[in-house]
Amino acid sequence: MPVMEADKTDPIRAEELKSQANEAFKAHKYAQAIDLYTQAIELNGQNAVYWANRAFAHTKLEEYGSAIQDASKAIEIDPKYSKGYYRRGAAFLAMGKLKEALKDFQQLKKICPNDPDAAKKLKECEKAVMKLKFEEAISVPESERRSVADSIDFHLIDVEPQYTGAKIEGDVVTLDFVKKMIDDFKNQKSLHKRYAFQIVLQVREIMRALPSLVDINIPEGRHLTVCGDVHGQFYDLLNIFELNGLPSDENPYLFNGDFVDRGSFSVEVILTLFAFKCMSPSAMHLSRGNHESKSMNKIYGFEGEVRSKLNETFVELFAEVFCSLPLAYVLNEKVFVAHGGLFSVDGVKLSDIRAIDRFCEPPEEGLMCEILWSDPQPNPGRGPSKRGVGLAFGADVTKRFLQENNLDLIVRSHEVKDEGYEIEHDGKLITVFSAPNYCDQVLSFIHLWWFAIHSLPMVLGKNSLYVDSPFSFQNQVLSCIFLLKLYQ
């Protein structure tokens, strides 16, 4: 953000704004806090505290690129300001950039040699870097790596007589099994590893047969429900099904990435989604998010949860399956659905996305990285990503992509929204986020109804977007169903 000229500084007013920002931060209103810190910076841009505080607020919104920029500015203003190094190191750590984080925590320890928290962070970072070096040293080249799925035969795993949980009879996952499994999960019971292996291995085969961009046809008068990030919030996933019905061929869903991490029930979420996919592939569609990756799963909890609830083999197996998830969907040749967003160059065609070799961990640049990580911005053109990965793209970029591919609308997820959804870019882009109580936000999901399947121009106005009455969750989170109607 620009800093005002010296003759326009107002340190007293800046302090008042900082205090207001601190209160907003304490209330978990991080976007409001950022705005207030920005106003304080505009009145007194040489106060390192303001920059470091805004960096912390950016971190809470997972805007790590912006956090690093602000923390670096705080360090530039005051090279001995410990919180600048702490904030930047924490942001690097959250991005998985361990070596950069280590440098900041080493400097932090020099500045604050007796600070136990600084010593703890340094020790954690050193341990993570050493583990990374060890893993790199013993890693097998990709060309020589054998699929862990090929080494698993779930038929050889015995089910103990005392096991009373959900069971798959033969090779078919039925609705009765899925319902029983969900009930067991609700009662804090585990699924037997034999059946967990069977589900994950079956999903792997289904997904591997799909292209990187999948076309879905929704018949006239039918609908598809698109859900955003769930992030391991199992009971909120069940709320979606309670409110909108269980997945079926008549009531299909598309979950748009970020099924796992952060929440405490990521294993239950992913096994439930995968089980529905096995039960009826046309009832459950799944796209990859940026959190369906090894690096994110190490940092944000899924790997540890899998190791605790299942075993080490499942850690590798889930990683393989995540690499098989499609990157995007096109609905009735008119609606483009992907987790993150658009690209750093114009001219990207659907055929280019379809041709992406997705069977790998997400790279740090290129089409695959950008489709998982990018975000819309209010300004035209392209800009740096607030996350430090991918990019920010404006309404003009959205318009050109839609025109070049004969599309009408982009539906994406990836960002927390105050109302659970947001319509941007002149009505051509919708963000939907489905993890309630994630930074104190609400949940939403979108029904896409097709009343006609030929020549479907988008009408976005009072007659096209309907918000039903809010309803209450067991945790008192308000939520809305959004009916997006496309007319001929």
Determine contact, residues 77/3, Cβ cutoff 8 Å. Answer: no
Task: Tell me: pLDDT of 97 over 90.
Answer: no
285 is an active site residue: no
pLDDT tens string 350-403: 999 999 999 999 999 999 999 999 999 999 999 999 999 999 999 999 999 999
Q: DSSP string of 280-336? A: -TTTEEE---TTSSHHHHHHHSHHHHHHHHS-HHHHHHHHHHHTTS-SEEEETTTEE
Task: Give 140's pLDDT tier (boundaries 50, 70, 90).
Answer: low
Distance of CA 366 to the CA centre of its chain: 18
- Per-residue pLDDT band for 142 (boundaries 50, 70, 90) equals low
Residue type, 468: D
On the question of pLDDT at 5 being above 70, the answer is no
Mean per-residue pLDDT, 411-437: 89
pTM listed for this prediction: 0.83
Q: Which CATH superfamily is domain 175-486 in?
A: Metallo-dependent phosphatases (3.60.21.10)
Pair 223, 253: CB distance under 8 Å? no
Residue 443 is encoded by which pair of tokens? 């949940």
pLDDT score, position 450: 52
Q: How far is it, in rounded angstroms, from Cα 81 to Cα 83?
A: 6
Quick check: 102 pLDDT over 80?
yes
CA-derived radius of gyration, the chain: 24
pLDDT in tens, 182-205: 999 999 999 999 999 999 999 999
**Neighbouring-strand partners of residue 330:** 215, 336
Assigned token pair, 16: 């008042």
Band of pLDDT at residue 144, cut at 50, 70 and 90: low
Q: How far apart are CA 247 and CA 283, in angstroms?
A: 5
Q: What is the mean pLDDT of residues 73-93?
A: 94
pLDDT computed for residue 116 by the predictor = 84
Sequence spans of domains, the chain = 6-138, 175-486
Predicted local confidence at residue 176, as pLDDT = 97
Banded model confidence at residue 138, pLDDT cuts 50, 70, 90:
low
Pinpoint the alpha helices (H) of 112-233: 116-138, 175-186, 193-208
pLDDT value of position 309: 96
What is the average per-residue pLDDT within 329-350?
97
Strand partners, 284: 253
CATH code matching the domain that covers 6-138, chosen among 1.25.40.10, 3.30.420.40, 2.60.120.920, 3.40.50.970: 1.25.40.10
Which tokens belong to 106? 């080493």
Report the DSSP beta bridge partners of residue 375: 392
How many CA atoms lie within 13 Å of 464's alpha carbon, on the beta-carbon side? 16
Handedness of CA 346, 351, 354, 357 (dihedral sign): negative
- Band (pLDDT 50/70/90 cuts) for residue 294 is very high
Residue closest to 321 by CA, chosen among 186, 217, 196, 137: 196
Q: Of 441 and 170, which is predicted with more confidence? A: 170
pLDDT in tens, 430-486: 999 998 766 545 556 777 765 333 333 333 332 222 222 222 222 222 223 333 333
Mean pLDDT of 86-99: 89
Give the pLDDT mean for 88-110. Answer: 89
Q: In the predicted model, what is the mean pLDDT of the chain?
A: 87
- 231, 291, 339, 414: the active-site residue: 291
Q: List the structure tokens of 57.
A: 């607020």
CB atoms within 10 A of CB 19: 12
Q: Give the pLDDT confidence of 206-264 residue by residue, as tens digits.
A: 999 999 999 999 998 899 999 999 999 999 999 999 999 999 999 999 999 999 998 89
